[in-house]
Amino acid sequence: MNIYLMSIDSVTQADFEYISFYMPQRYKKAMRFRNESDRKLCVAAGVLIAHTTGISDEGRICTEKNGKPYITGGPCISISHSGIFAAVAVSNSSIGLDIQKKRNIDLPLLRRICTDEEYDWAALDERRRYLLWTFKEAVVKEDGRGLLMDMNTFSVLPFFADLPVLIEGKRLTGKFFDTDEYALSIVSSGFLFEPGLCFIREEDAALWK
């Protein structure tokens, strides 16, 4: 399984036209954003969905009541975006993906989302805060309950030792990637066999730094 990324710098007018034709609801959503960068992120996510699934029938792309996307008839999919990047992962198992452009995560916020052990592990290390945050978000996305799931009721620390996490009887595996500017994590209810990062536009690889 791979994770596919696309930056807003590589979004073209042709991409907007493609989405307007094949994914008109996503196009309408994109055009409601006032900020051009947000419009491009929305379009980039649509391009990635089409690229990774081969699906151009928007009617097959649905969301559960708490916002988790799914494709009727499969496969499983997860979508995230931050900064200049949109990211999409597709799998036969339920997955959650989160990407974050690195920013300050203050200690009061960290305290709200962490177990005591996680807080002690991450409080004094900024890089650990970013990675822990993205793993927490990825778990919530895989679960599908959104804000109804309390982040401080489970620990993601085993992921950092390449060990599975058991949450409410469900076994999850996880992997992370990070650069100077971004952190990205993915979790799956199946096995993650060394997922890789793929850029559908060659020029985007140089921006992942």
Domains and CATH numbers, the chain: 2-207 (3.90.470.20)
Give 193 or 18, the one with higher predicted confidence. 18
Residue range 169-194: average pLDDT? 91
What is the percent of the chain where pLDDT is above 70?
100
Taking the model in full, what pTM does it have?
A: 0.93
What whole-number distance in Å separates Cα of residue 126 and Cα of residue 106? 10
Residue range 63-72: average pLDDT? 87
What whole-number distance in Å separates Cα of residue 2 and Cα of residue 200? 12
Residue 91, SS3 per DSSP: strand
What whole-number distance in Å separates Cα of residue 45 and Cα of residue 86? 6
What whole-number distance in Å separates Cα of residue 171 and Cα of residue 193? 15
CB-neighbour burial class of residue 47 (10 A; exposed 0-12, middle 13-18, buried 19+): buried
